[in-house]
């Protein structure tokens, strides 16, 4: 739940939440509404939620339910252990919400549990949560949460390679946010729509959306969102083989995430930098970035397994370029089950493609052809 508010309102809310007494009445409702409907930098969001939670015992059950939903999204979320803690938090909150028949809170916590299950690679569980939450939100007439869930499910489908289904959900979510007047949320889902078009190979359409969002976030003056859009543009330029354009955008992301101590996305940005450097014929420099990414991935409580799987594929590519095919194959063997568990056709196709090339370099032609066949079959399923 990333976000954006005017500086005056941020200052007002910060002062209000810093007061010793818990908020009440209009001030409390406004604070909750801003947290639910706006978009602000992640750390600011977490601090504001924590300030409200400090006075939780004084609030009625309806407000406590809204806070539980916000808390679930405000939990740290860069590594598998943190994702598991978020799932456990959501499950505890779901039990309490169901006991008091708080269906609105149930919707929000189902969505939050689904998202963190998704990050753990449990796409089936995530899909079940999103579908259940969507059914309940529809029954309640809760259009705001309905848009949230469509956005989450659409991005999951898009990430997996189920691009048509993903795009339909994302466009539906965007239309609902627009109808509700939630411009900040609309911009967030528009970035996911642009990414879906990029994954479909509709690069000009994707770039037009990214440029529109870049303009908006520059005008609004929120660096975190601008960096995020620039990094997505960087991915587009990697796809179109415009590596000189991609490199400074990913380097900007690396600097920002290093300065904000966001180790998970810092690792991701370094993996993408390694990809660019590898494509530019600079395997030694790529390896430096991969080593730095590995350090970020294992900082603290272990890694995000999906980002680690991505790292294994890029590492395999670099090792193959350095004439170390046996080591490359070991990394591909580590990556494949991660993306098979996720049912991620895009990354599975990539694994098969790289493996076919490495096996060919080893002179293992029959095995290379088998991997190439798996690549073609996966690509065909993706294209369909």
Asked if 193 and 163 count as a contact pair (C-beta separation under 8 A), the reply is no
Higher-confidence residue of 91 and 19: namely: 91
**Angle in degrees, 0-180, between the axes of helices 25-37 and 61-74, rounded to the nearest 10:** 30
Return the pLDDT at 11. Answer: 39
Instruction: Over range 112-126, report the average pLDDT.
Output: 96
Contact 378, 349 (CB under 8 A): yes
CA–CA separation, 191 and 193 (whole Å): 5
3-state secondary structure of 54: coil
Residue 25 pLDDT class (50, 70, 90 cuts):
confident
Of all residues in the chain, what percent carry a pLDDT higher than 70? Answer: 93
Residue 15: pLDDT over 90? no
Quick: pLDDT tens for 76-94. 888 899 999 999 999 999 9
Residues β-bridged to residue 3: 40
Closest CA to 125 of 158, 167, 170, 156: 156
Beta carbons of 219 and 228 less than 8 angstroms apart: no
Nearest to 354 by CA among 374, 383, 338: 374
Exposure string over 356-383, b if 16+ CB within 10 A, otherwise e: bbbbbeeebeebbeebbebbeebbeebe
The pLDDT of residue 236 is: 97
285-298: per-residue pLDDT in tens? Answer: 999 999 999 988 87
CB hemisphere CA count around 215 (13 angstroms): 5
Give the total residue count for the chain: 384
Whether the predicted pLDDT of 24 surpasses 90: no
Reported as a single tens digit per residue, the pLDDT across 261-282 is 888 899 999 999 999 999 999 9
pLDDT score of 69 more than 90? yes
Over residues 129-187, the pLDDT tens digits come to 999 999 999 999 999 999 999 999 999 999 998 999 999 999 999 999 999 999 999 99
Q: What is the mean pLDDT of residues 179-196?
A: 95
Residue 38 in this model has a pLDDT that exceeds 90: no
Q: Which residues pair with 4 in a beta bridge?
A: 39
Q: Quick one: pLDDT at residue 302? A: 60
* Residues 326, 41: Cα–Cα separation, whole Å: 43
What does pTM read for this prediction?
0.88
Residues paired with residue 39 on neighbouring β-strands, in sequence order? 4
Farthest-apart Cα atoms in the chain, separation: 73
Contact 258, 291 (CB under 8 A): no
Residue 4 has pLDDT above 70, yes or no: no
Residues 326, 323: Cα–Cα separation, whole Å: 9
Beta carbons of 191 and 213 less than 8 angstroms apart:
yes
| Mean pLDDT of the residues in the chain | 90
Q: Count CB atoms within 10 A of the CB of residue 127.
A: 18
Q: What number is the average pLDDT over the span 5-17?
A: 42
Q: What percent of the chain has pLDDT over 90?
A: 76
Are the C-beta atoms of 236 and 198 separated by less than 8 Å? Answer: yes
Predicted confidence (pLDDT) per residue in 313-371, tens digit: 999 999 999 999 999 999 999 999 999 998 899 999 999 999 999 999 999 999 999 99
């Amino acid at each position: 739940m990333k976000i954006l508010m005017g500086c005056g309102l941020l200052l007002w809310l910060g002062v209000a939440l810093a007061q010793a007494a818990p908020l009440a009445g209009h001030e409390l409702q406004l604070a909750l509404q801003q947290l639910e409907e706006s978009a602000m930098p992640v750390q600011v969001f977490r601090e504001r939620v924590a300030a409200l939670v400090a006075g939780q015992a004084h609030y009625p059950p309806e407000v406590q339910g809204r806070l539980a939903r916000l808390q679930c999204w405000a939990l740290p979320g860069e590594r598998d252990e943190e994702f598991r803690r978020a799932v456990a938090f959501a499950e505890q909150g779901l039990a309490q919400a169901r006991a008091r028949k708080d269906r609105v809170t149930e919707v929000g916590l189902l969505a939050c549990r689904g998202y963190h299950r998704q990050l753990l690679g449990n796409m089936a569980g995530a899909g079940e949560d999103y579908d259940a939450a969507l059914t309940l939100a529809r029954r309640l007439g809760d259009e705001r949460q309905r848009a949230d869930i469509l956005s989450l499910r659409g991005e999951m489908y898009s990430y997996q390679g189920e691009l048509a289904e993903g795009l339909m959900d994302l466009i539906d979510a965007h239309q609902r946010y627009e109808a509700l007047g939630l411009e900040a949320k609309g911009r967030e889902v528009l970035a996911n729509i642009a990414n879906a078009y990029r994954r479909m190979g509709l690069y000009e359409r994707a770039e037009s959306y990214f440029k529109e969002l870049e303009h908006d976030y520059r005008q609004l003056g929120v660096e975190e969102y601008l960096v995020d859009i620039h990094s997505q543009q960087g991915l587009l330029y990697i796809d179109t083989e415009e590596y000189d354009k991609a490199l400074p955008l990913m380097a900007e992301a690396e600097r920002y995430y290093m300065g904000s101590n966001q180790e998970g996305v810092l690792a991701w940005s370094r993996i993408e930098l390694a990809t660019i450097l590898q494509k530019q014929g600079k395997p030694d420099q790529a390896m430096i970035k991969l080593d730095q990414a590995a350090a970020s991935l294992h900082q603290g409580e272990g890694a995000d397994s999906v980002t680690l799987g991505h790292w294994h594929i890029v590492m395999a590519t670099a090792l193959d370029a350095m004439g170390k095919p046996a080591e490359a194959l070991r990394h591909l063997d580590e990556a494949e089950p991660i993306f098979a568990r996720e049912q991620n056709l895009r990354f599975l196709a990539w694994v098969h493609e790289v493996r076919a090339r490495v096996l060919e370099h080893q002179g293992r032609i029959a095995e290379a052809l088998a991997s190439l066949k798996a690549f073609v079959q996966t690509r065909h399923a993706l294209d369909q």
